[in-house]
Chains A and B, each alone.
Chain A
Amino acid sequence: MADKSEYRGRLIAIDGSRGKDTNAAAAALIEALKAKRVECALSRFDASGLFGELAAATRGDRQISARTLTLVYAADLAFRLRWEIRPVLEAGGVVIASPYVETAVAFGIACELRDEWIRELLRFAPKPSLRARAEERKINKGWKPRLDRGYAEYCAAMLEASSPRLASKAARREAVALLNRPRGRKVFRLSDKGVDALVKALTGSLRAAPNRSASKPRSARR
């Protein structure tokens, strides 16, 4: 299940506690890469349309749990990997996934789900070549329940009735603290300087290993 393919391309994961911030960080990074003449693709939350359809289906009766929403996130990510991320990686291009795995993990834990459950669920997602964090803004506020901003804001809107704690500052602070926790690999902070550092790291890695072998197609167990 775990995707250990060696891709020719580069995957940059941008995670953060608010969709508004990860969207802004992704846009800033794309601009900076364009200036260096590096073309890149962008994979965003709800490319599959599942979340949008779910919101429409539950209008007026939102009996949905954080666990169910995490499963939907996994289905959406599987869709994004198939249509937006892997094709670019296999062709040797650069793709930004904003948000990626850590966003779902941090938000899930803030909703009292277990870290191991979420990571095991999302283990089909390949490890990113470079990891980045959106600069967190309005850090002293909870999530604004909105269906059109990003994953955390969407969940806050969907879970508003059943988990009012989610809109609190404490829950968001917990998610931010989890995102800040070191996990062994360098994470670029996407402030102005951080964007430059990430672009430098990416262009450096593209120069260093431009012709890695293409990944083998994934095959079924038997």
Chain B
Amino acid sequence: MDAARKLIAERDRSRGLLIAFEGPDGSGKTTQRKLLARWLESRDHQVVSTRWASSALVKPLLKVRKKIRTLSTEEYSLLHAVDFRHRVETSILPALWAGKTVLADRYLFTALARDAARGLDLDWLLNAYSPLLWPDLVLYFSMTPEASRRRIASTRAPHFYEAGQDVTGMEDPLASYSRFIDRVVKEYNNLSVVFQFVTVDAGEAVYRQHMQVRQFVERAEKRPWSAFSEDAVREWLTKANIGAA
């Protein structure tokens, strides 16, 4: 066993848990993520939350390009991959390594579902996001496209890319969203089978969902880094100059 592999296997025992929150817009992921963070903190866990497209590096680049609607499907996808990779290397992995629990408000499955719904090839997307850092638990807040549309319509008009107007070509954001979210939910449902998501019914009352989430987290087992995520961790160790990697 080489030194890096040994180090990774040893750290697997003390590292934190990586929990991903996935689901369509309006499914209540952020509410549940906040409730879980509070509950875990009350039990003396150190918790780090990370949100989609939030890295200090990429957020400004993405924001301005989204605003002026200049991104092609590939550019949109690749800039999210840049953001994701940067967060994995600078915030998610360091926190896990230090034993903290990481709650990811959307993870790479968001990119897979949205970008596949935009017509990009799933194999190409998986390659762009590799080497993969597997979450230990994926909580999928499941709801119908119609329910997602209703919830979004009751609060705001969806943004251009959120509504998928770049691919539907429709002028009305809500009409576009209705069509686009249908594809996204289909992709999510396929992914949930392949990647073994744990499903939470997003139509349930918030508290009941939270109780369910607690149970899933209490029962969650680590996906060993050495079996699932060794390449990603090893690359980060080398870059961060940790140990003999």
Question: Which residues from B are CB-within-8-Å of A53?
Answer: 60-61
Task: Assess whether A220 is in contact with B118, with CB atoms less than 8 Å apart.
Answer: yes
Task: Assess whether B89 is in contact with A63, with CB atoms less than 8 Å apart.
Answer: yes
Q: Which one of B72, B119, B183 contacts A82 once the chains associate, using CB atoms below 8 Å?
A: B72
Question: Which residues from A are CB-within-8-Å of B56?
Answer: 57
A-B contacts, CB under 8 A, total: 78
Task: Assess whether B75 is in contact with A78, with CB atoms less than 8 Å apart.
Answer: yes
Q: Please tell me which stretch of A7-15, A18-26, A118-126 contacts chain B, meaning at least 4 of its Cβ atoms lie within 8 angstroms of it.
A: A118-126
- B73 nearest in chain A by CB position: A220
Task: Assess whether B119 is in contact with A54, with CB atoms less than 8 Å apart.
Answer: no
Task: Assess whether B78 is in contact with A65, with CB atoms less than 8 Å apart.
Answer: no
Question: Which residues from A are CB-within-8-Å of B116?
Answer: 221
Question: Which residues from B are CB-within-8-Å of A112?
Answer: 238
* Chain A residues bordering chain B, tally (CB within 8 A): 31
Task: Assess whether B61 is in contact with A222, with CB atoms less than 8 Å apart.
Answer: no
Most buried by A among B60, B75, B116, B121: B75
Task: Assess whether A57 is in contact with B82, with CB atoms less than 8 Å apart.
Answer: no
B157 at the interface (CB under 8 A from A): no
What is the CA–CA distance of A96 and B198 in the complex, to the nearest angstrom?
50
Task: Assess whether A68 is in contact with B124, with CB atoms less than 8 Å apart.
Answer: no
Task: Assess whether B57 is in contact with A58, with CB atoms less than 8 Å apart.
Answer: yes
A214 at the interface (CB under 8 A from B): no
Task: Assess whether A75 is in contact with B239, with CB atoms less than 8 Å apart.
Answer: no
Question: Which residues from B are CB-within-8-Å of A72?
Answer: 78, 82
A32 at the interface (CB under 8 A from B): no
Q: Which one of B57, B72, B73, B81 contacts A64 once the chains associate, using CB atoms below 8 Å?
A: B57
Question: How far in angstroms is the closest Cβ of chain B from A114?
Answer: 9
* Chain B residues bordering chain A, tally (CB within 8 A): 32
Task: Assess whether A124 is in contact with B74, with CB atoms less than 8 Å apart.
Answer: yes
A139 at the interface (CB under 8 A from B): no
Question: Which residues from B are CB-within-8-Å of A68?
Answer: 82, 85-86, 89
Question: Which residues from B are CB-within-8-Å of A50?
Answer: 61, 79
Question: How far in angstroms is the closest Cβ of chain B from A110?
Answer: 15
Task: Assess whether A63 is in contact with B82, with CB atoms less than 8 Å apart.
Answer: no
Question: How far in angstroms is the closest Cβ of chain A from B163?
Answer: 16
Q: Which one of A57, A63, A74 contacts B90 once the chains associate, using CB atoms below 8 Å?
A: A63
Task: Assess whether B82 is in contact with A75, with CB atoms less than 8 Å apart.
Answer: yes
**Interface code B86-130, partner A: CB below 8 Å = 1, 0 otherwise?**
100110000000000000000000000000101111011001101
What is the CA–CA distance of A72 and B183 in the complex, to the nearest angstrom?
27
Task: Assess whether B235 is in contact with A123, with CB atoms less than 8 Å apart.
Answer: no
Task: Assess whether A71 is in contact with B78, with CB atoms less than 8 Å apart.
Answer: yes
Task: Assess whether B124 is in contact with A123, with CB atoms less than 8 Å apart.
Answer: yes
Interfacial residues, chain A to chain B (CB-CB below 8 A): 1, 48, 50, 53-54, 57-58, 63-65, 67-68, 71-72, 74-75, 78-79, 82, 112, 117, 120-121, 123-124, 162-163, 219-222
**Which 3 pairs across A and B sit closest by C-beta, in order of nearness?**
A220-B119, A75-B78, A221-B119
| 7 A-B pairs with C-beta separation under 8 A | A53-B61, A63-B90, A65-B239, A71-B81, A117-B130, A120-B124, A123-B124
Known: A1-B120, A64-B86, A221-B116. 12 other contacts (CB 8 A): A50-B61, A53-B61, A57-B57, A58-B57, A63-B90, A67-B235, A72-B82, A75-B74, A75-B75, A117-B127, A162-B241, A220-B119
